Amino acid sequence: MAENNFHDGLTVSSSPHLVTALDTQKTMLHVLTALIPSAVMSAVFWGVYPVCLILGCMAFSALSEYLYDRIMKLPNTTKDCSALVTGAILALTLPPSLPIWMAFIGCAVSIIIVKCLYGGLGRNIANPAIVGRIVLLLSFTTQMTTWKYTGFQRAAGVDGMTGATPLGQLFDGAFSSTPGLTELLLGNRGGSLGETCIIAILAGGIFLIVTKIISPVIPLVYLGTLFVFAFIYYLIVPEEGADAFYMAVFHLLSGGAVFGAFFCATDYVTSPVLKKGKIIYAAGCGFFTMVIRLFCSYPEGASFAILFMNIMTPLIDKYTIDGFYGISRRAKEEKKKAKEETGNG
């Protein structure tokens, strides 16, 4: 059969033979893109140093992962870009004047202890950036709660170099000196790098929702719960000089809840996989954020609330998956019916 020049030994694999172009790396790059507005606003408020902090944290996080992989003789996983995202998110939750070496300690904790030791991306039980931030907060409490005034605040003639965050002022009983809602929306106030400018966060968040990287369920339920909780609380315990609605909006715009809701709570790995679970999880985040703000000894509790719900995630997944919507329920009903029928017959 000389004329039959057949091609044998082709690649044989299971279907499907097409895959999406949206891989893990592109997903992470989308998140990094979404963080750009917040990073730019941090430079607008505090100058060049925040940019160094953000880029430094990204580089150091990637380096930590690379070195860990080298030392443990594991394949290099840095190309999925998740370390860059962790570094950027961690940096954006830090105060503008934090010494960079402290930030690097946070990065190392995030990447090596919280992520790599658990088996790398996808296996960590808590959001690395959140834990990194909490470790820094507990280790370097003074530096982590020193809030440099923004350039605009100093231009407006405030005394000294540092002040309190709006939630800190509320916590200290100085509600009358908190900034107005417009200032909060624009972010001209004391706070962490990325958390102050709500408009920039929303721009990034909407970008992620439109490109379908994140589902809007978690941010909306998180912030909705927080708002409703605050509104009801201030109806019962009124704050002097403001109505409950104002206070609820104030809580929404102050602190790190909006940033956390869009960028930390939506982390795939540490949030539930089903929509039902996501709703429970996000409601828990909102609830515990307000519990910590109102009843505990910290003025802000978004990071603790998200961490707490992170570790609840396996439990939420377990119960939501077992009570699965759709065919499983229908199949169970059918089985039951079939059993009854055979029992009767």
Partner 1 sequence: MLFGNKRLPSIEAGHYKNTAGSGTEVMPIPARVSLSMSENIGAPCKVLVEKGEHVLVGQKIGDTDAFLSVPIHASVSGTVSSIETMRNAMGGMDTFVVIESDGKQEKDPNLKPPVIEDQPGFINAMRESGLVGLGGAAFPTWVKLNPKNLIDVDTLIVNGAECEPFITSDHRTMLEDADNVIDGMLAVMKWLIAEDGYIAIEDNKQDAIDKFRELLRERGITNIKVFPLPARYPKGAERVLIEEITGKKCAAGVLPASLGLIVMNITSTAFVGQYLKDGIPLIKKRITVDGDAVREAKNVLAPIGTSIKDIVDFCGGYAKEPKKILMGGPMMGRAVYSDRMTLIKNNNAILIFSKDQAFIPEESACINCGRCHEGCPFHLLPTAFADAYGARDAKRLEELQVMQCMECGSCSFVCPAHRPLAFINKLSKALVKEASSNGGK
Torsions phi, psi of 267, nearest 5?
-50, 120
What are the tokens at 273? 């996989």
Determine if 20 is a binding residue for partner 1 (CB under 8 A): yes
Task: Out of 2, 16, 173, 345, point to the residue binding partner 1 (CB under 8 A).
Answer: 16
Cα→Cα distances 298→91, 175, 291, 295, 303, Å: 20, 16, 10, 9, 11
Other CB atoms within 10 Å distance of the CB of residue 332:
11
Task: Out of 160, 173, 327, 342, point to the residue binding partner 1 (CB under 8 A).
Answer: 327
Orientation angle between helical segments 198-210 and 24-46, nearest 10 degrees: 170
Nearer to partner 1, 241 or 326 (CB): 326
Whether the Cβ atoms of residue 235 and residue 222 lie closer than 8 Å to each other: no
Nearer to partner 1, 236 or 327 (CB): 327
Task: Out of 72, 74, 76, 123, point to the residue binding partner 1 (CB under 8 A).
Answer: 123
Whole-number Å distance between alpha carbons of 43 and 37: 10
Task: Out of 153, 171, 175, 216, point to the residue binding partner 1 (CB under 8 A).
Answer: 216
CB 11 → partner 1: shortest distance, Å?
5
Task: Out of 172, 243, 334, 340, point to the residue binding partner 1 (CB under 8 A).
Answer: 334
- Residues numbered 260 to 279 that lie near partner 1 (CB under 8 A) are 268-271, 273-275
Task: Out of 76, 237, 315, 330, point to the residue binding partner 1 (CB under 8 A).
Answer: 330
Question: DSSP states of 227-295 as a string?
Answer: HHHHHHHHHHSPPTTS-HHHHHHHHHHSTTHHHIIIIITT-STTS-SSHHHHHHHHHHHHHHHHHHHHH
Nearer to partner 1, 135 or 217 (CB): 217
Determine if 120 is a binding residue for partner 1 (CB under 8 A): yes
Whether the Cβ atoms of residue 186 and residue 199 lie closer than 8 Å to each other: yes
List residues near partner 1 by CB under 8 A: 4, 6-20, 22-24, 26-27, 77, 80, 82, 119-123, 216-217, 220, 268-271, 273-275, 321-322, 324-328, 330-331, 334
